[in-house]
């Protein structure tokens, strides 16, 4: 085998892996059903992965879900949601994707965010902000945040947009800058 | 380079003193080596200045891109990420023959860029994950690059990221489990680290006497500090004396079990190909890992005692190994580990008691006696080597 081909074959899997992440995320955003979910108590965080707003969804509050208190840390469940205003609401906790193909259910798991505090997270719980981007979580409670999420039949979801007081974050940030 | 020249001159002085080189031969060698060192220094200066310039230009370009990152479309961002990444790897390959140092450096940057590329894509799509699967992919997918390029720098990156991933992944597993499990979690991480050390020793045994012989030293490099660190974190008394409600020990020790099985497979392969003797250190380390895991499972109260025994016995073993192999690094590492362990035990057990003074006196006496014995053996070895040379 030629050295150049051998080198390329050694390097290629890394590119394929990252390309797959992008491709799969794009697939969810293009084929999933759009749902709008209310965000409660957003907060700005910064760590090795970047600067982002944590988005605990209202449908993840175990206290408001029937059967939520009985779940254990690490449990994987599906939350079926139905349209509502201004955001979709949770109607049922399931342990498998719903049989009805038209039903929309997000796959989540129970995590302990602080000692004694558990909630459901759905892998759409952070919105990355540029370094100079305005923080929509401040002042606390001043803005209504809605996460626009795309959900596939398997329950996988992707965050398409973050609405701040009804407008996409990029528009809100541009207005805030002026 | 100047330091290298100084060390060469010191070695030449020693060779002249013990009669290996005459003063004429010494002068000739010194002059020739001096010319080579000066030539090397001149070459290095140009390369260093050029490298700094290239690094600054690259950093400036990246800074510009980062500043305007929000202005690019998603497709544009992806094109930039993959384009720059591919260019780095292509440049690394192209320069491997003509400029090996620069080529290998670019290849290393390309390997490390996997982390950057993954982070950028995650930010673009607002992705998050509980387990660090991307870090696992990072080091696993870098292994073929290390093997094809035979780059020790890439191997250092692979080993470093792999060890980091081990501890991170196990930590998340422990956190996800219900109930309080801090001490069992520490035990699980310590056993996984020891299993990783055993696997590294096995891989080093496989690398020796093969095309990848240069990898053996890199694979063994993190073993010594980790071998001391793992039992040290388990040697503290308080967490293990608590009587607590039962936790799901089997679930907690799943990562440790997986680590031990994986290490056993690698050790078995090394033993089959190179013989049991070549992989013996790895089997011993795995045995210690199993002993600690069994203690944590069956007799938690005994964990500090077993961990202390493993730690101090390991320190003495490393010192003995260093003396036998005439390797001062091992001797110094073993002595340092012994001293650090003794000091930590003093502060844990005896800080406010009179026994502390006795413990210090006894430990100090042991160390002085040990130093006396080792120094005598070192001088005897040196005399034997000098007599053998004549």
- The per-residue pLDDT for range B311-345, each reduced to its tens digit, is 998 888 888 888 887 888 888 888 899 888 888 88
Instruction: Please check whether residue B336 touches A, CB under 8 A.
Output: no
d(CA B175, nearest CA chain A) in Å: 9
A53 contacts in B (CB within 8 Å)?
A: none
My answer on whether omega of the bond before B12 falls inside 30° of 0, hence cis, is no
Q: Is the dihedral of CA B330, B162, B58, B150 positive or negative?
A: positive
pLDDT digits 0-9 by tens, B175-190:
877 766 777 788 888 9
Average pLDDT (B196-200) is: 94
Q: Is B120 exposed, middle or buried (0-12, 13-18, 19+ CB in 10 A)?
A: buried
Which pLDDT score is estimated for A102? Answer: 87
β-pairing, A89-94 vs A76-82, is: antiparallel
SS3 for A57?
strand
Determine, for residues A52 and B126 on separate chains, whether the beta-carbon distance falls below 8 Å.
yes
More confident call, B227 vs B7: B227
CA–CA separation, B366 and B361 (whole Å): 9
Determine, for residues A21 and B126 on separate chains, whether the beta-carbon distance falls below 8 Å.
no
Average pLDDT (B291-319) is: 87
Please report which confidence band the pLDDT of residue A26 belongs to, taking 50, 70 and 90 as the band edges. Answer: very high
- Residue A132, pLDDT above cutoff 90: no
Quick one: DSSP state of residue A32?
S
pLDDT digits 0-9 by tens, B2-21:
566 777 888 888 888 888 88
Which pLDDT score is estimated for B114? Answer: 94
Please report which confidence band the pLDDT of residue A117 belongs to, taking 50, 70 and 90 as the band edges. Answer: confident
d(CA B120, nearest CA chain A) in Å: 9
Instruction: Please check whether residue B362 touches A, CB under 8 A.
Output: no
Determine, for residues A14 and B178 on separate chains, whether the beta-carbon distance falls below 8 Å.
no
Residues A123 and A140 sit within 8 Å (Cβ to Cβ): no
CA–CA separation, B288 and B333 (whole Å): 19
Determine, for residues B126 and A159 on separate chains, whether the beta-carbon distance falls below 8 Å.
yes
Token couple for B298 = 């069956």
In angstroms, the Cα distances linking B265 to A31, B161, B212, B250, B268 are 43, 21, 20, 21, 5
Please report which confidence band the pLDDT of residue B367 belongs to, taking 50, 70 and 90 as the band edges. Answer: confident
A17 contacts in B (CB within 8 Å)?
A: 114, 137, 141
Which pLDDT score is estimated for B300? Answer: 82
Q: Is B221 exposed, middle or buried (0-12, 13-18, 19+ CB in 10 A)?
A: middle
Which pLDDT score is estimated for B350? Answer: 64
Residues B76 and B59 sit within 8 Å (Cβ to Cβ): no
Average pLDDT (A14-34) is: 95
- Residue A60, pLDDT above cutoff 80: yes
CA–CA separation, A106 and A124 (whole Å): 10
Task: List B residues 97-136 in contact with A (Cβ-Cβ < 8 A).
Answer: 110-111, 114, 117-119, 121-130, 134
Average pLDDT (B188-199) is: 92
Q: In what order do the strands lie in the sheet with A126-128?
A: A43-47, A50-54, A126-128
Residue among A13, A50, A72 minimizing CB distance to B123:
A50
- Residue B78, pLDDT above cutoff 80: yes
Average pLDDT (B30-37) is: 76
- Residue B259, pLDDT above cutoff 60: yes
Among B94, B127, B145, the residue to mutate for chain A (most A Cβ within 10 A)? B127
Determine, for residues A6 and B70 on separate chains, whether the beta-carbon distance falls below 8 Å.
no
Quick one: DSSP state of residue A166?
T
B124 contacts in A (CB within 8 Å)?
A: 22, 128
pLDDT digits 0-9 by tens, B38-60:
665 555 677 678 778 877 887 88
Q: Is A134 exposed, middle or buried (0-12, 13-18, 19+ CB in 10 A)?
A: middle
Please report which confidence band the pLDDT of residue B164 belongs to, taking 50, 70 and 90 as the band edges. Answer: very high
Please report which confidence band the pLDDT of residue A78 belongs to, taking 50, 70 and 90 as the band edges. Answer: very high
Average pLDDT (B136-156) is: 94
CA–CA separation, A149 and A34 (whole Å): 6
My answer on whether omega of the bond before A86 falls inside 30° of 0, hence cis, is yes
Please report which confidence band the pLDDT of residue A82 belongs to, taking 50, 70 and 90 as the band edges. Answer: very high
- Residue B162, pLDDT above cutoff 60: yes
Determine, for residues A128 and B123 on separate chains, whether the beta-carbon distance falls below 8 Å.
yes
Which pLDDT score is estimated for B242? Answer: 64
CA–CA separation, B216 and B201 (whole Å): 8
Which pLDDT score is estimated for B110? Answer: 93
My answer on whether omega of the bond before A139 falls inside 30° of 0, hence cis, is yes
Which pLDDT score is estimated for B145? Answer: 95
Residues of chain A contacting B, Cβ within 8 Å: 4, 6-7, 9-11, 13-15, 17-19, 21-22, 25-26, 29, 49-50, 52, 72-74, 109, 111-112, 121, 123-128, 130, 133, 158-159, 170
| Strand ranges (E), A21-128 | 33-38, 43-47, 50-54, 76-82, 89-94, 104-114, 117-121, 126-128
Token couple for B290 = 């199993």
Average pLDDT (A18-26) is: 96
Q: Closest residue of A to B121, CA-based? A: A22
Determine, for residues A4 and B117 on separate chains, whether the beta-carbon distance falls below 8 Å.
no
Instruction: Please check whether residue B62 touches A, CB under 8 A.
Output: no
Of chain B, the percentage scoring pLDDT greater than 90 comes to 34
- Residue B1, pLDDT above cutoff 60: no
CB atoms within 10 A of CB A44: 13
Determine, for residues A13 and B85 on separate chains, whether the beta-carbon distance falls below 8 Å.
no
- Residue B216, pLDDT above cutoff 80: yes
Which pLDDT score is estimated for B91? Answer: 93
Interface size A-B, in CB pairs within 8 Å, comes to 91
A74: left (phi over 0), alpha (psi -120 to 50) or beta: left
Determine, for residues B178 and A74 on separate chains, whether the beta-carbon distance falls below 8 Å.
yes
Average pLDDT (B267-278) is: 90
ipTM > 0.90? yes
- Residue A178, pLDDT above cutoff 70: no
Which pLDDT score is estimated for A58? Answer: 92
Average pLDDT (B62-91) is: 88
Token couple for B178 = 């219900």
Q: Closest residue of A to B110, CA-based? A: A11
Instruction: Please check whether residue B178 touches A, CB under 8 A.
Output: yes
Q: What's the mean pLDDT when you consider all of chain B?
A: 85
Angle, vertex CA B275, rays to CA B273 and CA B281, nearest 5: 115
Dihedral over alpha carbons B15, B21, B22, B28 (to 10 degrees): -100
Determine, for residues A72 and B127 on separate chains, whether the beta-carbon distance falls below 8 Å.
no
Average pLDDT (B210-220) is: 90
Residues A55 and A124 sit within 8 Å (Cβ to Cβ): yes
SS3 for A61?
coil
Instruction: Please check whether residue B148 touches A, CB under 8 A.
Output: yes
Residue among A14, A25, A73 minimizing CB distance to B127:
A25
Residue among B82, B147, B177 minimizing CB distance to A15:
B82
CA–CA separation, B20 and A178 (whole Å): 81
pTM of full prediction above 0.90? no
């Amino acid at each position: 085998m030629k050295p150049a081909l051998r080198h390329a074959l050694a390097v290629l899997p890394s590119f394929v892996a990252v390309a797959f992440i992008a491709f799969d995320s794009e697939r969810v955003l293009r084929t999933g059903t759009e749902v709008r979910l209310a965000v409660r108590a957003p907060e700005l965080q910064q760590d090795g992965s970047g600067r982002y707003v944590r988005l605990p969804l209202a449908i993840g509050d175990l206290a408001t879900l029937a059967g939520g208190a009985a779940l254990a840390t690490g449990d994987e469940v599906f939350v079926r949601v139905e349209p509502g205003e201004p955001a979709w609401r949770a109607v049922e906790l399931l342990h498998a994707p719903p049989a009805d193909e038209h039903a929309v259910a997000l796959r989540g798991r129970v995590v302990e965010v602080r000692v004694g505090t558990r909630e459901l997270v759905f892998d759409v719980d952070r919105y990355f902000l540029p370094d100079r981007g305005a923080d929509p979580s401040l002042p606390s409670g001043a803005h209504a945040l809605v996460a626009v999420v795309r959900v596939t039949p398997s329950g996988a979801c992707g965050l398409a947009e973050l609405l701040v007081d009804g407008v996409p974050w990029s528009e809100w940030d541009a207005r805030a800058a002026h | 380079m100047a330091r290298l020249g100084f060390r060469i001159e010191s070695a030449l002085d020693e060779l002249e003193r013990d009669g290996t080189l005459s003063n004429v031969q010494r002068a000739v060698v010194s002059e020739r080596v001096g010319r080579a060192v000066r030539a090397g220094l001149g070459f290095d200066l140009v390369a260093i200045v050029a490298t700094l310039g290239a690094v600054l230009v690259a950093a400036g370009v990246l800074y510009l891109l980062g500043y305007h990152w929000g202005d690019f479309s998603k497709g544009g961002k992806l094109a930039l990420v993959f384009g720059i990444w591919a260019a780095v790897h292509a440049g690394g390959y192209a320069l491997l023959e003509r400029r090996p140092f620069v080529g290998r450096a670019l290849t290393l940057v390309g390997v490390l860029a996997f982390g950057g590329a993954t982070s950028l894509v995650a930010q673009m799509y607002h992705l998050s994950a509980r387990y660090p699967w991307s870090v696992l992919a990072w080091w696993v997918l870098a292994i073929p690059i290390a093997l094809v390029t035979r780059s020790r720098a890439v191997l250092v990156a692979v080993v470093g990221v792999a060890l980091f991933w081990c501890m991170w992944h196990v930590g998340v597993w422990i956190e996800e489990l219900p109930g309080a499990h801090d001490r069992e979690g520490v035990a699980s991480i310590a056993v996984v680290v020891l299993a990783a050390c055993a696997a590294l020793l096995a891989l080093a045994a496989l690398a020796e006497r093969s095309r990848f012989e240069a990898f053996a030293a890199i694979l063994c490099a993190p073993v010594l500090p980790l071998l001391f660190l793992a039992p040290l974190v388990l040697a503290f008394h308080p967490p293990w004396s608590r009587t607590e409600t039962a936790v799901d020990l089997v679930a907690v020790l799943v990562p440790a079990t997986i680590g031990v099985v994986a290490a056993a497979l690698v050790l078995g392969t090394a033993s089959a190909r190179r013989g049991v003797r070549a992989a013996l250190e790895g089997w011993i380390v795995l045995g210690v890992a199993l002993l600690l895991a069994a203690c944590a499972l069956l007799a938690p109260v005994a964990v500090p005692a077993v961990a202390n025994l493993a730690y101090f016995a390991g320190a003495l073993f490393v010192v003995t190994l260093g003396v036998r192999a005439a390797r001062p690094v091992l001797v110094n590492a073993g002595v340092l580990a012994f001293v650090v362990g003794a000091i930590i035990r003093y502060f844990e057990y005896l800080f406010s008691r009179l026994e502390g003074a006795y413990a210090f006196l006894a430990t100090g006496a042991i160390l002085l006696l040990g130093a006396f014995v080792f120094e005598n053996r070192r001088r005897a070895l040196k005399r034997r080597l000098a007599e053998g040379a004549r």
